Amino acid sequence: MSTPETARPPASHLKLEVIVIPVSDVDRAKRFYEGLGWRLDADFATGDGFRVIQFTPPGSPCSVIFGRGVTSAVPGSVQGLHLVVTDIEAACADLARRGAEVSAPFHDAGGVFHRAGKDGRVDGPDPERRSYASFASFSDPDGNGWVLQEVTERLPGRVDTDDAPGTASTRG
């Protein structure tokens, strides 16, 4: 239930910039994400065994961090990380060429959103190719799970990062 205080917009923007993912072999994870074509932003290590690596997926304002000493989470325990794409089939083909084991495109039997695991999956993209309704999935070598979601038209109120104030649009 919202109160007058919580109903007001926040005083400042809250931008999700980094997601920490747990991995068991830092160098293997680094090779995997490099192979996907993600930009390596940082690889810092200290003498006490601490190491942090940051990658950014192409076109994303949010990065992932992994390393030694950056999380106590169990390697492979992060699931449902979404990467938005404009063409699910092209994205699957590109990731497969780059070495990821990507599922075939699928949609949900209920037509709303995919479920955890593989329950309710129907082979193929959404028959009507509705925005937000087609998916594919892959995992990194530790089992951290990624979901591709095809978005061709944003819901009202959602801003594509290319259109956000202060960013240069890369669309023609």
In a domain, 62, yes or no: yes
In a domain, 97, yes or no: yes
Residue 152 CB burial class (10 angstroms; 0-12, 13-18, ≥19): middle
What's the pLDDT score for residue 27?
Answer: 98
What is the rounded end-to-end Cα distance, in angstroms, of the chain? 43
- pLDDT tens across 110-153, in order? 877 777 777 788 899 999 988 989 999 999 999 999 999 999 98
Torsion of CA 20, 159, 125, 114, to 10 degrees: 50
Q: What is the mean pLDDT of residues 33-40?
A: 98
Q: Is the pLDDT of residue 166 over 60?
A: no
DSSP class per residue in 12-80: S-----EEE---S-HHHHHHHHHHTT-EEEEEEE-TTS-EEEEEE-TT-S-EEEEEESS--SPTT----
Q: What would the two tokens of residue 122 be? A: 């129907």
In a domain, 26, yes or no: yes
In a domain, 27, yes or no: yes
- pLDDT tens across 77-91, in order? 999 999 999 999 999
Q: Which strand (E) or helix (H) includes residue 108?
A: strand 106-108
In a domain, 151, yes or no: yes
What domain range is 25 assigned to? 14-163
- HSE toward the beta carbon, residue 50, CA cutoff 13 A: 6
Q: What would the two tokens of residue 50 be? A: 């601490």
Interatomic CA distance for residues 36 and 64, integer angstroms: 13
Our count of domains for the chain comes to 1
Stated pTM of the model: 0.83
CATH code of the domain containing 158: 3.10.180.10
Interatomic CA distance for residues 4 and 135, integer angstroms: 38
What's the pLDDT score for residue 74?
Answer: 98
In a domain, 170, yes or no: no
- pLDDT tens across 59-109, in order? 999 999 999 999 999 999 999 999 999 999 999 999 999 999 999 999 988
In a domain, 169, yes or no: no
Q: How far is CA 148 from the centre of its chain?
A: 7
- pLDDT tens across 11-35, in order? 888 889 999 999 999 999 999 999 9
In a domain, 110, yes or no: yes
Q: Which strand (E) or helix (H) includes residue 147?
A: strand 145-150
